[in-house]
Structure 1
Amino acid sequence: MSSAQSLIGSGSADIVAGRPASVAHLFLDRVAATPNGEAYRYPAPVDEHAADGAPGAEQWRSVTWAQTAEQVYAVAAGLLELGIAPEDRVALMSSTRLEWIVADMGNMCAGAATTAIYPSTNADETAYILSDSGSRALFVENPAQLAKVVGELGQLPELRTAVLFDGEVPQETGSLTVLTFDELKRRGAEYLAGHPDTIEKAVAALDKEQLATLIYTSGTTGRPKGVRLVHDCWAYQGRAQEQSGLLRGDDVQFMWLPLSHVFGKSLICGQIATGHVMAVDGRVDRIIHNLPVVRPTMMASAPRIFEKVYNGIAGKARAEGGAKYKIFMWAARTAREYAKATQASRAASGHDAAPLGLRVQHAIADKLVYGKIRAAFGGRMRGSVSGSAALAPEIGYFFAGIGVPVLEGYGLTESSAGICVNHAEDVRIGSVGTMLPGSEVRIAEDGEILLRGPGVMRGYHNLPEKTAEVLEADGWFHTEDIGELTADGFLKITDRKKDLFKTSGGKYVAPSEVEGKFKAICPFVSNILVIGNGRNYCTALIGLDEAVIMPWAVEHGLAGRSYAEVTADPSVLALIDGFVRTLNGDLQRWQTIKKFHLLPRDLDIEHGELTPSLKIKRPVVEKVYAEAVTAMYAGANEA
C-alpha cells in the first residue's frame, strides 16, 4: 500500500505489549491493589427526614473498589446462573449512571458481550439492534424503556430476560422474564455463596480475541452497523490511556458522556487501569450544577458543549452591555492571542512563552474574567478531552488561554474510541494530537487517514462485505477521513472523505471547515450545514441556539415571540447575515455562503437529524428541508 506519511505511537511499548487479556483482568487487579480506595461517586437522594434533608435534594455518595467489585461479581454470577454463556450478547440500554458501569463490567466478568444501545433509540431501531446482535438478555433503565422492547418481541426470539435498574416489574412483559437489578444481584450473591471462585475462573478463561462489545455506528447514512470490539481492544485502551499520561491515578474525572458511545466506554477502561475517582451522572441539565461540586481535574465532552458554554458567556456579557461586554471581548481576544503565542513557542522551543506585554494583559484578564470561568468548571480542571466532531479552533484557543485546555482527540467506534489525543502539557489547537502508544497512522496518497493497532475492530457484525471494504488483511483500517501529519507527529483532520463535495465549477469544498469557522465567529449558532454539491455556489441551513438568541430577541423588541417567529424576523435575519458576511471575508470565493436559511427549530435527536453523539445526519437534514434548499437555488445562475 502506498502512502505519503506514516507514524507509530511512541511510549513504553512493552507496557502496552504486556497488557492482560481483558479489562476484566485489569478490574480484578485494581480491586486487589486498592480495595479501599474510592472508585466512584454518584448522586443520590437525601433522606427527607434527615436534618439537612428536603424533598428533591441530592448528595454525592461514593463506593470503594471493593464495594464496586461486590456488585460486579454478583451481577456476573447472576448472569451465569441465568445460563449466559461466553460471547452471548447482553444488551445495555440506559443513561449514564453507576449501574451502567456495574452491569457492563458484570457482563465482561461473566464472559458475555455487551450490546450498547442509546436510551434515546426508538423502538424500531432498538429492535433492529437487539435482533441483529442476537442479544439474549437486556439491562434496561426503567419500565418506559422496557415498553419499547416488549412491543417488538415478535422480532426478538432470542431475547429471554430483562433486568430493570429502576421501577417495578410491569404486569405486561410478554415472553420476557423480567427481574429488578437488586433481584439479579441477590440471585448472583446466592450463587457465589456456593461457588466462591466462579468469577476468578470466568475471568481467567477469557481470551483476548473473544468478543467483548458490539457498539452500533451512528447510522448517519443508513442502518447502523455493529462494530465487533474484542477484549484486547479495551485492555489496550486502558493501558494506553494510563501509559500516555492522559489519565492519572490522582485524577477526579466527571463522567456525563453517554456510556453507550465508544468514547465514554473507553474512558472507563482508562479509569480502571489508573484507579482514579470517577463521578458519574449522565444528566446533561445538571452539568453546570455538578462541576463546582465535583471539582474534576479531567472531563470528556463533545465540542458542542464548549461552543454552548462560550456562546452562553458571550451572550451574558453582551446582555450586560457597556464596559462589561468590552472587557469580555478584550479578555477573549487576549486569551486567544496568549494561547497562540505559547503554542507557537512550545512547538519551536519546547517552552511556553509569550511577549511581556501580552503576559501582563493576560494576568489582568485572568483576575477580571478567566478565574471566574475556571471556578465554574470547579477550579481544578487540567484538561477536558473532546471528541466525536471537530472543535472550532477559535473556541479551542479561547479555552486554552483561560486555563481550561480542551484536549482534542480522534478516534472512531471502529478504533474503540481514541487512537490519538492532545495532552495538557502540549496542546496543539487545530490538531487531534499524537498517537497513543502502540497504534499507527498512515496518510494514503489521496489524503485518507488509515489506522492500525490493537484498538481497531475485528470487523462489522454479520457484514463481511462491509468489513472487507474498510479493513485490509494486514490490519489497516480506512477511516474515510482526510488529514495530514505534521513534522512532529500531530495529526490534523481536514474533512470527512464522503462529506467533501465539488461545486459545478469543479472546486472542492470541505464543509466542516466552513462550518467550524462560522461557529467560531457567530455566538448565536447551534448547528450549521453547508450545502453545494454539484451546485454553482454554496448555501447553508442554520439552527440557532435558543438559550442565546431568545434573550437577544427580548432586548430587541421581540418579547413574547416563539423561537420559530424569532428566527423568521427580519432583524434576526440581518443579525445572522452580518456574521455570514464576516465569514465570507475569510473564505475562498467558491467556499462563500451566498444564501442561508434559518431553521424554524434547531436540529435534534428526536427528529432523527442528529445522532446520539450529536453528529448531523446530512442526508436526513437535506431531505427534511428540501424545499428551503430548492428555494435557495431557485433561478440561480451565479458562478
Structure 2
Amino acid sequence: MREYSVPLLVDIPESANCTDTVFERGEKDPAAVVIRRKSGDDWLPVTAREFRDQVAAVAKGLIAKGVEPGDRVGLMARTCYEWTVFDYAIWSAGGVSVPIYETSSADQVKWIMSDSGARAIVVERPSHEETVREALAGLSGVKDVWCMETGAIDELTAEGADVSDEVLTERRTGRRAADLATIIYTSGTTGMPKGCMLTHDNLLFTARNVVAGPLPQLFETRDRAALLFLPLAHSFARLIQVVLMETGTVIGHTPNMKNVAPDLQSFKPTFLLAVPRVFEKVYNSAEQKAVAEGKGKIFHMAVETAIAWSRAESAGGAGLGLRLKHALFDKLVYGKLRAATGGALTAAISGGSALGERLGHFFRGIGIEVFEGWGLTETSAPSSVNMPGANKIGTVGKPFPGVSVAIADDGEILVKGRHVFAGYWNNEKATAEAIDADGWFHTGDVGELDSDGYLRITGRKKEIIVTAGGKNVAPAPMEDRIRAHPLVSQAIVVGDNRPYIAALVTLDPEAVDQWKKANGRERATLAELSTDPAILAEVQKAVDSANRTVSQAEQIKKFAVLDVELSEETGHVTPKQSIKRNVVLADFAKQIDALYD
C-alpha cells in the first residue's frame, strides 16, 4: 500500500467552535467589511459587527423558540446572505444545521427531516415552505417552519428580544470542537442519501490547515473577495465559506449558477470556486462567440499559445518567442476573458470532478490559475489540493497538512485525518463499512500517487465498467474528454457486461442555439438535431478525441445523442451537477440496448 502524509500545521483547541471567529472579529475589528450583500444592482457592505449582531439576534430568537443544544434545524435555501446568517445563528444557539437543497422534492425533504430528527426548518421562499408543509404532513417532531422571504429574520429577532447576552454566550461557547456542527446528506447519486456527521473540529481543522498549508497566498491579498454561487447545501461551498470567514475574505452570494456572469462583473471577485462544468462553459461560450464573429482562427491560436505558455511555465519557463506571442494575445484575447469575470480574478478552486489538463493549462495561460482539489462530504470536502507555486495540473494536488492518503492494493484511495467525518447519522453499519479498524476512510474513488505525493483520480470504484471480455474501463476520463466539446453537455460511457464500450451524449442548449443560427437551422428541434449528420460528425470528433487516450479495447465503438437535456429537473443530475448514473442507465435502457443491437 502506497502512502503519503503531510505534517499538521494548525491544531484546533478543544474549546473552539465555528462561531468564534464571527464574534471575535465583530469585537476586535468591527468596521471591517466581511460580506457584500446584493440589493438590486448594488453590493451593500456588511461589517463584522453588523453580521455578528444579526447572527446573535437570530440565535437568541432560536433559543427563545426552544432550540436546545444539539437540536437539528433544517436549512433549505439557495446560496444567499440569509443562508449564512442562519447557519451561524443555528451554531450560536448550540444547534446543528441540516442543509437541504432548495430543489429537493417533498419526499427528499421528508426523508432528511425525519432521519435527522430535526425540530425546525428555515426555508427561503413560500414555494419551499409549501414543499416542506407537504413533506411534514404526519411528522410531529417538527415544531417550527420559518421563511426568509416572509420575515424570518425579523420574526426571530423579535422573539429573542428578552434573551440576554449572557444566555447566548453560555449557549454558544458551550459547544466545543468535538461537538456535532452539521449533518450533510449525500446528494444521492445511488440509493437514499446518508447523513454525514461533521463536527466543529472537522470544519475548523480543514479550513485552517488548508489556508496555512496549500493556499495562504489566495487569502493574503489586500482586497480579497470571493463570490459564492455553488449550493451552500453541498460540503464544498460550505467549507469554503468557513474558510472565507476564518480569513476575513469579503463574501458575496449569488443564488443562480446559470446567471452568474453579471454578478462576476459587478462584484469583481479575486477568488472563485466552481465545478469543472462551469469552466467548460466559460471556455465553450468564448469559443462559440469567437467563431460566430469570424474570429475563430485567432481564438484557437490564442488558446494554443496559452496552453503552450502554461506547459512551459511548468517545465521551467517560456522562451522569448512564446512570451511575446503570449503578451500579444493577452491584449487581444486574454484580457477580455478576464474582464468578463470582473477583471480582478486571478485564482479559482475546482472540485467535484476532473477539470482536465487542457482546460487547466488554458486558464493558467490567460491569467486565472485553477487549483484542483479532491475530497468527499465524508472528508469535510477536501483531502488534497494543489497550491500556488506547485500546481501540478492534471492532478488534485497533495494531501493538505494533517492528512494521510494511501492507495490500497485494488487502487482504492484511502484517507486518514481529523477532517474525516464522525460517521453516518443513525447508520452504524454504513460507518463501519466506510472506516476500517486502522482508521482509514475508504473513499470509493480509484487513483494513484506519484513520487512527489500528488494524487491523480482515475475513476470511481463502483463505476468501473467490466466488459463481457473482462476489460476494466474507467468511464470518467473519457466522459471528461467528450464533455470538452462545445456542443456536448453530458456524456455517459456504458458497457458493463457488454461486448464493447459505448456512450450516451446530450447537447448543450446554449451552444446548440448558436450552432443553429450559424447553420441556418433555427427551427430545428432537439429531436431532429440528435440524428442530424452534421451534429453527429461533431460528436464523433469528441468521441475520437476520447478514444485517442485509451487502448483499443477501451475505445467507444458506438454512441447515441439523446433528444433530451439531463438536469436536476429531470432527476438525472444532482445539485452539484453530478450525473445520477443509475437513474440514467434505467431511464435510457432502450437507447443503450439499441447500441448493441
Where on the TM-score scale, by shorter chain, does this alignment land: which range?
over 0.9
Residues 441 and 579 of structure 1, relative CA distance in 2, 3 Å threshold: closer
| CA distance, structure 1, for counterparts of residue 236 and residue 115 of structure 2 | 22
Match of 2:282 in 1: 309
Query: What's the CA shift for 1:18?
Result: 4.6
Conserved 8 A contact 2:446-2:460: yes
Conserved 8 A contact 1:19-1:235: no
Query: What's the CA shift for 1:182?
Result: 1.1
Match of 1:286 in 2: 259
Q: Which of residues 4, 8, 11 is equivalent to 2:5?
A: 8
What per-residue deviation string (whole Å, max 9, x for no partner) do you get for residues 541-597 of structure 1? Answer: 001111112221222231212233222323212232233234334431012111111
Q: Which of residues 33, 39, 61 is equivalent to 1:78?
A: 61
Query: What's the CA shift for 1:155?
Result: 4.0
Please, what TM-score do these two structures have when normalized by structure 2? Answer: 0.96
Aligned residue for 1:457, secondary structure, equals: coil
| CA distance, structure 2, for counterparts of residue 437 and residue 381 of structure 1 | 26
- Unaligned segments of structure 2, at least 5 residues: none
Match of 1:262 in 2: 235
Conserved 8 A contact 2:196-2:377: yes
Match of 2:506 in 1: 543
Residues 99 and 354 of structure 1, relative CA distance in 2, 3 Å threshold: same
Tell me if 1:107 matches 2:107: no
| CA distance, structure 1, for counterparts of residue 549 and residue 454 of structure 2 | 25
Aligned residue for 1:557, secondary structure, equals: coil
Residues 489 and 452 of structure 1, relative CA distance in 2, 3 Å threshold: same
- Unaligned segments of structure 1, at least 5 residues: 46-57, 169-179, 346-352, 635-639
Q: Which of residues 430, 442, 447 is equivalent to 1:478?
A: 442
Match of 2:225 in 1: 252
What per-residue deviation string (whole Å, max 9, x for no partner) do you get for residues 189-243 of structure 1? Answer: x123xx2222221222112221110100011111000001111112213312331
Conserved 8 A contact 2:464-2:472: yes
- The residue type paired with residue 444 of structure 1 is A
Aligned residue for 2:315, secondary structure, equals: helix
Match of 1:36 in 2: 31
Match of 1:490 in 2: 454
Query: What's the CA shift for 1:341?
Result: 1.6
| CA distance, structure 1, for counterparts of residue 113 and residue 139 of structure 2 | 7
Tell me if 1:613 matches 2:576: yes
More divergent stretch after superposition (152-161 vs 311-320):
152-161
- The residue type paired with residue 73 of structure 2 is V
Match of 1:237 in 2: 206
Match of 1:433 in 2: 397
Q: Which of residues 516, 521, 527 is equivalent to 1:564?
A: 527
Query: What's the CA shift for 1:17?
Result: 4.4
RMSD (Å) for aligned C-alpha atoms:
1.6
- The residue type paired with residue 312 of structure 2 is A
Q: Which of residues 491, 496, 504 is equivalent to 1:533?
A: 496
| CA distance, structure 2, for counterparts of residue 331 and residue 485 of structure 1 | 33
Aligned residue for 1:151, secondary structure, equals: helix
More divergent stretch after superposition (569-578 vs 256-265):
569-578
Please, what TM-score do these two structures have when normalized by structure 1? Answer: 0.90
Conserved 8 A contact 2:12-2:204: no
More divergent stretch after superposition (434-443 vs 73-82):
434-443
What per-residue deviation string (whole Å, max 9, x for no partner) do you get for residues 579-619 of structure 1? Answer: 32343344310121111111112210111101111100111
What per-residue deviation string (whole Å, max 9, x for no partner) do you get for residues 133-188 of structure 1? Answer: 011010101111011111232342210101110037xxxxxxxxxxx321112222
| CA distance, structure 1, for counterparts of residue 541 and residue 209 of structure 2 | 46
Tell me if 1:23 matches 2:6: no
Q: Which of residues 466, 476, 487 is equivalent to 1:524?
A: 487
Map 1:192-231 → 2, pairs under 5 A: 192=163, 195-231=164-200
| CA distance, structure 1, for counterparts of residue 149 and residue 570 of structure 2 | 27
Residues 187 and 219 of structure 1, relative CA distance in 2, 3 Å threshold: same
Conserved 8 A contact 1:9-1:440: yes
- The residue type paired with residue 481 of structure 1 is D
| CA distance, structure 2, for counterparts of residue 380 and residue 488 of structure 1 | 32
Match of 2:305 in 1: 334
| CA distance, structure 2, for counterparts of residue 290 and residue 275 of structure 1 | 21
- The residue type paired with residue 410 of structure 1 is W
Conserved 8 A contact 1:550-1:563: no
Query: What's the CA shift for 1:360?
Result: 1.9
Conserved 8 A contact 1:553-1:566: no
Map 1:352-391 → 2, pairs under 5 A: 353-391=317-355
Match of 1:55 in 2: none
Count, aligned residues: 593
What per-residue deviation string (whole Å, max 9, x for no partner) do you get for residues 236-284 of structure 1? Answer: 1331233123541542111111110101110121112111111112222
| CA distance, structure 2, for counterparts of residue 95 and residue 154 of structure 1 | 23
Aligned residue for 1:182, secondary structure, equals: helix
| CA distance, structure 2, for counterparts of residue 22 and residue 440 of structure 1 | 24
Tell me if 1:98 matches 2:81: yes
Query: What's the CA shift for 1:20?
Result: 5.2
- Percent identity, please: 39
Conserved 8 A contact 1:383-1:424: no
| CA distance, structure 1, for counterparts of residue 240 and residue 192 of structure 2 | 26
| CA distance, structure 1, for counterparts of residue 368 and residue 50 of structure 2 | 33
Tell me if 1:506 matches 2:506: no
